[in-house]
Amino acid sequence: MKSWSPYALLVIIAIALDQWIKQLVENGLAFQEKVDLLPFLALFRTYNTGIA
């Protein structure tokens, strides 16, 4: 069971990072407004109500 602890820590960090990024997007991006990062890359906030 001791060998699981690094993996458990990695999973906890990944979940925490995911939730933090979701909060940043919810608070910082307007719905369906494009934010250009590079000429070929943009951020776009939307919702997927289906299976992702």
Domain boundary assignment for the chain: 2-44
Taking only the tens of pLDDT, the chain with its 52 residues reads 567 788 899 999 999 999 999 999 889 889 988 899 999 999 888 888 887 6
* DSSP helix, strand, coil percent of the chain (3-state; round to 5): 50, 15, 30
| Nearest Cα residue to 29 out of 16, 48, 42 | 42
The token duo for 41 is: 């890359």
φ/ψ of 34, rounded to 5, equals: -85, 135
Q: What is the pTM of this model?
A: 0.65
